[in-house]
Structure 1
Amino acid sequence: MYFIQPTRDIAYLDQVLDTLPSVQMIRIEDIHLYDPTIIAIADVQDYLNHKWSLPTIVLAFDQEGSALSQAWEQGALAGWIWNRLPENPQAALLRIDAKYKRNQDSRDLPSAAELQQRLLPNPIELPNYQIETLFKPSAYLSGDWYDYWKISDKEIIFYLADVSGHGVTSSLLTSWMAAFHGRSKTPRELLKKLNGMLVQENIEKHITMLAGILNLDTHQIRWSSAGHYPPAIIFEKNQPPKVLNTSSFPLGLTEDLEVEEFECTLNRDARFIICSDGALEPFTGGLSEQFEQLVFHLQNQSFQAPEHVADDIAILSLRRMK
C-alpha cells in the first residue's frame, strides 16, 4: 500500500509510519505514476484538496470531523485519527483491502454479464425451422446456458444446461461449456465429455443438461438427458403435449455415467421445447402443479418471465414451420 507524504506538519507522522512498516511512501505530485487500484493512506486535507482517484484511507485530527465527512462523501474508504489508530492497523488494512476488492468485483459484474450475453449463440437461418430462446439471469450472471450450432448442412446440435447454484462460479462453468463443446458431434459424446471433465477436475458443481441433434431433412431429433428437469416437451396443434420423461444422473456426480439416446420426429408446426427449472418459479403449488402450469402457458404461448426472478431462466425452442 502507499502512504502519501503529507503537505502539512504532522507531529504523529513517524509514530504512524512505525506501525505501518509495509507501506511505500510516495509524493502527491507522483501519484499518477502509481497503480490506481492499490489503496493509499493520506492526510484528509490533502485528499480533499487534490481529489485523486486512488482508493484512500484518510487520517484526520480529533477536531476535523467535518473534513472526515467530506472525505467520505468524496469516496474515502475509511477515516482514522492520527493519534488514535485502530488497535491492529495492519489487520485493519487487510480487512479494508479485502472489502475494497470485493466491491470492485461487484462493480465489474455488469460488464461480466454483458460479456456472458455476447457468448450466447447468434441466430442462424435454417430451412423450415425457427429457433426461439429466452435467457433471464436472476442476478447479473447466469448458471443456465443454451447453445446450438451446425455440424453439417443437414444437422444442428443443441443443448440447454443448468449449473447447480448461482453466482460467478456457476457462470464460469457456462463459459467453459461454450468454449468446450465444439469438438462433440453427438449428444451422448457431448454429455460424456463434459461429465469426464467435471469429475476429473473435481469441481464441486453438478450440471443438468439436455442435448440433441436435429436432422433438417428427416425432421428427426436424437437427444439425451443428464438429470435435467423439467423434461423436454413436444407441442403439436390439436394434440395433447408430449412430455419426454427420462431417468438419469446429472453431470459431475459419477465417472460411470450411463447416457441413453432417444428419438422423436417433429411434424409440421410442432415445437420441441427445453426449459431450465427456473421456468417453474412463476407458478404456485408443488412441483407437479408448477409443471402443469408451465406446460399450459408454453402450449398457449403465454409464458412470461417475471421482472425479478430468484432463479435463472433459460428456454430453447425448435419449431418446425408449416
Structure 2
Amino acid sequence: MYFIQPTRDIPQLDYVLETLPSVQMIRIEDIDLYDPTIIAIADVQDYLTHKWSLPTIVLAFDSEGIALAQAWEIGALAGWLWNNLPSNPHKALSKIDAQYKRNQDSRDLPSAAELQKRLLPNPIELTNYKVETLFKPSAYLSGDWFDYWKISDKELMFYLADVSGHGVTSSLLTSWMAAFHGRSKSPRELIKKLNGMLVQENIEKHITMISGVLNLETHSLRWSSAGHYPPAIIFEPNQAPKVLNTSSFPLGLTADLEVEEFECTLNKQARFIICSDGALEPFDGGLSEQFEQLVYHLKNQSFQAPEHVADDIAILSLKRIN
C-alpha cells in the first residue's frame, strides 16, 4: 500500500509509519505515476484538497469529524484517527483491501456482461432456414449458452448448453466452450471432447447440452443430448409437437460418457427448438406442468421472458422456411 506524505505537520507521523512499516511513501505530486488500483493512506486535508483517484483511507485529528464526513462523501474507503489507529491495523487494512477488490469486481460485471454478449454468434443467412434466439441472463453473467456455425457449404452445427450454477465460474465455462468447439464436426465428437476436458481439468461443474448438425439441403438433422432438460421439440403446422426425449448423463460427471446420435428430418415450416431449463421458470406448477405450458407457448409463438428471471434463459430455434 502507499502512504502519501502529508503536506502539513503531523506530530503522530513517525508513530504511524512505525506501526505500518510495509507501506511505500510517495509524494502528492507523483501520484499519477503509481498504480491506481492500490490503496493509499493519506491525511484527510490533502485528500480533500487534491481529490485524487487512488482508493484512499484518510487520517484525521479528533476535531476533524466534518472533514472525515466530507472525505467519505467523495469516496474515501475508511477514516482513521492519527492518534488512535485500529488495534490491529494490518488486519483492518487487509479487510478494507479485500472489500475494495470485491467492490471493484462488482463494478466490472456490467462490462463483463457486455463482453459475454459479444461472444454470442452473429446472425447468419442460411438457405431454406431461419435461426431465432433468445438470451436472458438472470444476473449480469449467464451460465446458459448457444452457438452455431457452418462446417461446410451445406451443413450447420449448433449447440445449446446449461452450466450448473451461476456467476463468474459458470460464465467462464461458456466462454471456454465458445473458444473450443471449432474443431468438432459432429454432435457426438463435440460432446465427447468437452466432457473429456471437464473431467481432465477436474472442474467442479457439470454441463447439460444438446448439439446437432443440420443439412440445409436434405433437411436431415443429427443430434445428441448430454443430460439436457427440457428436451428438444419439433413443431410442424397442424401436427402435435414432437418431444425428442433421451436418457443420458451431463458432461463432467464421468470419463466414460455414452453419447447416442439421433436423426430426424425437418419438413416444410418445421421448427426445431431447444431451451435451457430457465425457460420453465415463468410457469407455475411442477416440472411436467411447467413443460406443458412451455410447449404451448412455443407452439403458439407466445413465449415471453419476464423482465426479472430467477434463472438464465436461452432458446435456439431452427425454422425451415422453404
Q: TM-score, normalised by structure 2?
A: 0.99
C-alpha offsets along residues 184-222 of structure 1, whole Å, 9 cap, x if unaligned?
000000000000000000000000000000001110110
Cα distance in 2 for residues equivalent to 1:256 and 1:34: 52
Aligned twin of 1:65: 65
Residues 138-287 of structure 1 mapped to structure 2, 5 A cutoff:
138-287=138-287
Q: Which runs of 5+ in 1 are unaligned?
A: none
Cα distance in 1 for residues equivalent to 2:203 and 2:91: 32
Cα distance in 2 for residues equivalent to 1:296 and 1:172: 33
Q: Which amino acid aligns with 1:218?
A: T
Q: Which runs of 5+ in 2 are unaligned?
A: none
Cα distance in 1 for residues equivalent to 2:213 and 2:29: 63
SS state at 2:208 partner: strand
Cα distance in 1 for residues equivalent to 2:82 and 2:309: 48
Cα distance in 2 for residues equivalent to 1:40 and 1:112: 27
Task: Kindly state the Cα deviation for residue 108 of structure 1 after the two structures are TM-superposed.
Answer: 0.9
Cα distance in 2 for residues equivalent to 1:13 and 1:225: 67
Task: Kindly state the Cα deviation for residue 231 of structure 1 after the two structures are TM-superposed.
Answer: 0.1
Task: Kindly state the Cα deviation for residue 128 of structure 1 after the two structures are TM-superposed.
Answer: 0.8
Aligned twin of 1:101: 101
Cα distance in 2 for residues equivalent to 1:297 and 1:219: 25
The number of residue pairs the alignment matches comes to 322
Cα distance in 2 for residues equivalent to 1:243 and 1:27: 70
Cα distance in 1 for residues equivalent to 2:4 and 2:31: 8
SS state at 1:311 partner: coil
C-alpha offsets along residues 101-159 of structure 1, whole Å, 9 cap, x if unaligned?
11111111111111111100011111110000000001111000000000001101000
Once superposed, which parts of structure 1, at least 4 consecutive aligned residues long, lie more than 6 Å away?
A: none
Cα distance in 2 for residues equivalent to 1:220 and 1:143: 29
C-alpha offsets along residues 22-72 of structure 1, whole Å, 9 cap, x if unaligned?
000111111111111110000001000111000000001111111111000
Cα distance in 1 for residues equivalent to 2:7 and 2:151: 68
Task: Kindly state the Cα deviation for residue 311 of structure 1 after the two structures are TM-superposed.
Answer: 0.5
Question: RMSD value over aligned CA atoms?
Answer: 0.6
Cα distance in 2 for residues equivalent to 1:203 and 1:87: 41
Aligned twin of 1:35: 35
SS state at 1:79 partner: strand
Q: Which amino acid aligns with 1:72?
A: W
Alignment of 1:52 with 2:59, yes or no, is: no
Q: Which amino acid aligns with 2:206?
A: H
Q: Which amino acid aligns with 2:68?
A: L
Aligned twin of 2:23: 23
